[in-house]
């Protein structure tokens, strides 16, 4: 370690360039991980809030909640430890009085029973009490400037709703969720009806034994229960998005390892004569090899550490519209992985050190 540090201190410019490359590569990996995680979470945060184990949809829907429609009478044929009725409808809204394309906002309506477990926690304002009131995801306030008391007009519908509260982490398919009553959902997606067995909803959410559907009983052949994890993976575009970013990040880590390995290998070749002199003086190959590995570890630790700090600082100033989320577990895993592959790349240089002949290197 002493030899590695002394050499880095002597050749500051050379090693600063290597650290710079490591900073840029690690910064890019961290940022892509944050974006990938943020986009994935924006598809499912409203579902995670349920803390449910299963969801019941119609058999014909092919796990697509947009295509699932069942009557309340059918829904009541589902039983479990805890059940909740859910109506889901994508829509477009705009603040009353505003016009133009920029005023339109893509949202998802969730029609729910406020007394059932999928009712979200209200962090600002109050819960809805009528069919013309909604509790909205806080992103509508942060990104669109919607405030409590604002009236939202629905595109293609004469209905208007008033925002009475905000909740957090409530997005579905990247769109903010508006929670309202089941009768209000009927007006948004179908037609105005009272809250009776003639109404329709999209799904029944069931909570019970973790990871099991054994507690769900369905007395209707047209309905099918799915584990909540399977349902999330079938959200349109979710799996493809996660796999795409996963492959990109994986290739970046591999490229980082190759780049670091090449740099260290070239540096080792440039110091062949110096290593030959050291061997001639009686310094062991093991000590020289350990110095090369230690030097690589220091370079990787400093470069990756600076990249991590820059990523954290960037996350603090990003606008709310950017779907970036920090996950401590992912950051720790990527940090360990980048440093590890850097050290593994340095091991290729150790072979060169081992094969150096002092006489040939000096001559």
Higher-confidence residue: 273 or 162? 162
What CA–CA distance (Å, rounded) separates 336 from 159? Answer: 53
- Is pLDDT of 73 > 90? no
Element at 225 (helix H, strand E): strand 223-227
Q: Which letter does DSSP use for residue 134 in this model?
A: E
Element at 163 (helix H, strand E): strand 160-167
76-90, 303-317, 334-348: the lowest-pLDDT one: 334-348
pLDDT tens across 163-178, in order? 999 999 999 988 999 9
Q: What is the mean pLDDT of residues 343-354?
A: 74
- Note the Cα 49 to chain centre separation in Å: 15
Q: How many CB atoms lie within 10 A of CB 191?
A: 8
Q: Which residues contact 127 (CB under 8 A, 6 or more apart)?
A: 114, 119, 135, 164, 165
- Is pLDDT of 1 > 60? no
Matching residue, tokens 């959902």:
185
Please give the share of the chain, as a percent, with pLDDT higher than 70: 90
What CA–CA distance (Å, rounded) separates 106 from 69? Answer: 21
The per-residue pLDDT for 238 is: 85
pTM for this model (two decimals):
0.79
Burial 76-100 (b: 16+ CB within 10 A, else e): ebbebeebbbbbbbebebbbeeeee
What CA–CA distance (Å, rounded) separates 176 from 168? Answer: 10
Of the segments 18-22, 147-151, 336-340, which one has the largest average pLDDT value?
147-151
Q: What is the mean pLDDT of residues 295-320?
A: 89
- Is pLDDT of 47 > 80? yes
What CA–CA distance (Å, rounded) separates 138 from 145? Answer: 10
pLDDT tens across 94-136, in order? 887 777 777 889 999 999 998 999 999 999 999 998 888 999 9
Matching residue, tokens 């069931």:
206
Q: What is the mean pLDDT of residues 237-264?
A: 80
pLDDT tens across 173-220, in order? 889 999 999 988 988 887 665 545 567 899 999 987 655 676 778 888
Q: Alpha-carbon Rg of the chain, whole angstroms? A: 29
Domain boundaries, the chain: 2-43+239-362, 54-207
Question: And the tokens for 292?
Answer: 């090369």
What CA–CA distance (Å, rounded) separates 84 from 276? Answer: 75
- Is pLDDT of 152 > 80? yes
What CA–CA distance (Å, rounded) separates 193 from 201? Answer: 12
The per-residue pLDDT for 137 is: 94
């Amino acid at each position: 370690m002493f030899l590695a540090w002394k050499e880095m201190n002597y050749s500051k410019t050379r090693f600063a360039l290597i650290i710079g490359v490591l900073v840029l590569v690690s910064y890019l990996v961290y940022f892509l991980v944050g974006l990938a995680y943020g986009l994935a979470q924006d598809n499912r945060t409203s579902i995670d809030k349920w803390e449910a184990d299963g969801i019941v949809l119609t058999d014909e829907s092919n796990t697509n909640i947009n295509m699932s429609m069942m009557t309340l009478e059918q829904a009541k044929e589902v039983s479990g430890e805890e059940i909740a009725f859910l109506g889901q409808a994508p829509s477009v809204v705009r603040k009353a009085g505003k016009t133009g394309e920029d005023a339109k906002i893509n949202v998802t309506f969730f029609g729910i029973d406020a007394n059932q477990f999928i009712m979200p926690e209200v962090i600002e304002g109050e819960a809805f009490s009528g069919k013309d009131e909604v509790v909205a995801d806080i992103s509508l306030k942060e990104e669109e400037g919607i405030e409590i008391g604002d009236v939202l007009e629905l595109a293609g519908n004469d209905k208007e709703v008033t925002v009475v509260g905000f909740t957090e982490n409530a997005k579905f398919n990247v769109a903010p969720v508006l929670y309202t009553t089941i009768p209000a959902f009927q007006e948004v997606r179908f037609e105005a009806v009272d809250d009776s067995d003639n109404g329709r909803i999209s799904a029944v959410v069931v909570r019970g034994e973790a990871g099991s559907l054994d507690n769900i009983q369905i007395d209707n052949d047209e309905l099918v229960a799915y584990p909540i994890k399977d349902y999330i993976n079938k959200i349109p575009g979710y799996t493809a998005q996660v796999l795409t970013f996963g492959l990109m990040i994986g290739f970046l880590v591999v490229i980082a390892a190759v780049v670091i390995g090449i740099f260290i290998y070239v540096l080792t070749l440039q110091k062949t004569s110096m290593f030959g002199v050291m061997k001639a003086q009686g310094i062991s190959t093991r000590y020289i090899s350990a110095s090369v590995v230690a030097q690589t570890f220091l370079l990787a630790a400093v470069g990756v550490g600076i990249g991590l700090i820059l990523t954290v600082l960037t996350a603090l100033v990003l606008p709310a519209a950017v779907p970036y989320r920090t996950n401590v577990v992912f950051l720790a895993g990527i940090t360990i992985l980048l440093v590890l592959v850097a050290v593994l790349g340095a091991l290729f240089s150790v072979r060169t050190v081992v094969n150096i002949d002092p006489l040939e290197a000096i001559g």
